């Protein structure tokens, strides 16, 4: 598990760097370049779409080359280019360039990183392995958000964005240095990997495990109701939280996710992935109903903690499930395809949620998201078939 710990540390330090910067981008665009909310939305939409398109390709390249570590490193290194571009940005166009570079890098690194975790996990402990990675990933995000909170809280009106952009390079560099500690295992199927082509790839989809096909469709259904977390922050603002209070709630979400990721991942190794996946969707539905009807600050704190529990359950367990049943020679590609479906569906999900919010207020969009989560849970419960011991649908 030492290899997984090092992979987790890479995500820990990278997420510190990322979350130090991410909440500030809209503020920086508005204050430095006079960007409107519409322009900010366009910039974020282009950046996230770029990441979605690269996720499956990043996984395919890591399967083709069998160089998980090198491909992942290239993806993480884009974060350094991103921060440097922000330091020298003289217009919103440069910020757009920086965001696209960062998101492209995230798209490239996700699948080979997940494949590295899969290949490094001890037998029968894959859920715990992904839980450990998610714990460190979420902890890094929480630390980064907390650092930004203190900068915002105590800068006394003379806040310098570029100073924190510069400081954020430090944890990013530390994360990259951790790659020297990772030992990449030679995966099985080396001979077959050399023959992987796009023709082979498309032909393989017809023979994929039925459970994997079903789950990818369920992911699409669920994600159409799982919009951007920005709407959760808007809800917090609507019930009366200050900007710094909203940042603290976002910190609470990541902190709670970090706290329970390993226990839930380990539980999936014992009781099967299916039970945890269904439970995760049900917890999401409960949290979204909470966001819909919470009218007070105190109740919203509990809802953010519950949403953190959903994140802990789903993120690690679904990656372990895909690793359980994906073809070994296409491990990176399947993780990439899963991430691409999620990223692609996020754009219409956010558009639908925004339109419903404008037309009916905040209750309807959250109820809509909760409804799709319940539908996804029912589909899994009814149609996901039992598989070999240790896989998702073990009863």
Rg (CA), the chain: 20
**pLDDT classification of 376: cutoffs 50, 70, 90:** very high
pTM: 0.81
Give the helix ranges, DSSP H, for the chain: 2-21, 25-33, 37-65, 68-87, 92-120, 126-154, 161-167, 169-177, 190-193, 198-205, 210-223, 230-238, 243-271, 273-293, 297-325, 331-360, 363-383
Residue 394 has pLDDT above 60, yes or no: no
DSSP symbols for 290-348: HHHH--SHHHHHHHHHHHHHHHHHHHHHHHHHHHHHS-GGGHHHHHHHHHHHHHHHHHH
Residue 326 has pLDDT above 50, yes or no: yes
Cα(148)–Cα(159) distance, rounded to whole angstroms?
11
Continuous segment of H or E residues that includes residue 6: helix 2-21
Ramachandran assignment for 166, one of left (phi > 0), alpha (psi -120 to 50 degrees), beta (any other): alpha
* pLDDT of res. 23: 77
- The CB density around residue 90, as the number of other CB atoms within 10 Å, is 9
Cα(63)–Cα(60) distance, rounded to whole angstroms?
5
Assigned token pair, 304: 């953010």
- Residues 79-98: tens digit of each pLDDT: 999 999 999 988 888 988 99
Share of the chain above pLDDT 70, in %: 89
Identify the DSSP state of 386: P
Ordered structural domains, the chain, with CATH: 2-181+188-383 (1.20.1250.20)
- Residues 99-145: tens digit of each pLDDT: 889 888 888 888 888 889 988 888 888 899 999 999 999 999 999 98
Assigned token pair, 216: 């990818």
Ramachandran assignment for 34, one of left (phi > 0), alpha (psi -120 to 50 degrees), beta (any other): left
- Triad 245, 139, 154: Cα angle to 5°: 35
Q: Kindly report which listed range (69-73, 290-294, 346-350, 361-365) carries the lowest average pLDDT score.
A: 346-350
Q: Average model confidence (pLDDT) for the chain?
A: 84
Residue 221 has pLDDT above 60, yes or no: yes
**pLDDT classification of 290: cutoffs 50, 70, 90:** very high
Contacts of 143 (CB under 8 A, 6+ apart): 12, 15, 16, 19
Assigned token pair, 348: 């219409």
Contacts of 154 (CB under 8 A, 6+ apart): none
Assigned token pair, 363: 């209750």
Residue with tokens 């809209």: 26
* pLDDT of res. 358: 83
C-beta of residue 164 within 8 angstroms of C-beta of residue 24:
yes
The residue count of the chain comes to 395
**pLDDT classification of 257: cutoffs 50, 70, 90:** very high
**pLDDT classification of 160: cutoffs 50, 70, 90:** confident
């Amino acid at each position: 598990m030492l290899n997984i710990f090092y992979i987790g540390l890479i995500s820990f330090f990278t997420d510190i760097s990322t979350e130090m910067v991410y909440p500030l981008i809209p503020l920086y665009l508005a204050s430095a370049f006079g960007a409107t909310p519409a322009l900010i939305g366009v910039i974020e939409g282009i950046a996230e779409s770029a990441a979605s398109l690269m996720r499956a390709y990043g996984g395919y390249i890591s399967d083709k080359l069998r160089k998980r570590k090198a491909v992942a490193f290239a993806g993480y290194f884009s974060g350094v280019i991103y921060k440097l571009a922000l330091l020298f940005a003289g217009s919103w166009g440069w910020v757009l360039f920086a965001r696209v570079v960062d998101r492209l890098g995230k798209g490239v690194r996700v699948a080979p990183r997940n494949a590295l975790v899969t290949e490094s996990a001890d037998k029968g402990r894959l859920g715990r392995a992904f839980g450990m990675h998610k714990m460190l990933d979420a902890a890094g995000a929480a630390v980064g958000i907390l650092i930004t909170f203190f900068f915002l809280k105590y800068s006394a009106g003379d806040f310098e964005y570029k100073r924190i952009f510069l400081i954020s390079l430090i944890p990013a560099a530390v994360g990259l240095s951790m790659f020297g500690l990772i030992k990449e295992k030679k995966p099985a199927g080396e001979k077959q990997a050399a023959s992987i082509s796009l023709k082979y790839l498309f032909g393989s989809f017809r023979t994929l495990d039925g459970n994997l096909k079903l789950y990818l469709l369920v992911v699409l259904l669920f994600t159409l109701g799982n919009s951007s977390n920005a709407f959760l922050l808007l809800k917090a603002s609507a019930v009366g939280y200050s900007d710094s209070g909203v940042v603290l709630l976002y910190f609470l979400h990541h902190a709670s996710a970090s706290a329970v990721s390993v226990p839930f991942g380990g539980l999936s190794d014992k009781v099967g992935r299916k039970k945890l996946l269904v439970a995760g969707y049900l917890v999401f539905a409960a949290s979204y109903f909470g966001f819909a009807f919470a009218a007070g600050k105190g109740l919203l704190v509990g809802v953010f903690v519950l949403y953190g529990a959903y994140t802990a359950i789903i993120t690690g367990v679904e990656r372990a499930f895909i690793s359980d049943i994906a073809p070994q020679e296409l491990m990176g590609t399947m993780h990439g395809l899963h991430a691409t479906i999620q990223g692609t569906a996020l754009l219409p999900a956010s558009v639908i949620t925004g339109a419903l919010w404008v037309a009916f207020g905040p209750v309807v969009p959250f109820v809509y998201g909760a409804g799709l989560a319940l539908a996804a849970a029912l589909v899994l419960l009814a149609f996901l078939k039992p598989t070999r011991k240790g896989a998702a649908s073990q009863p």
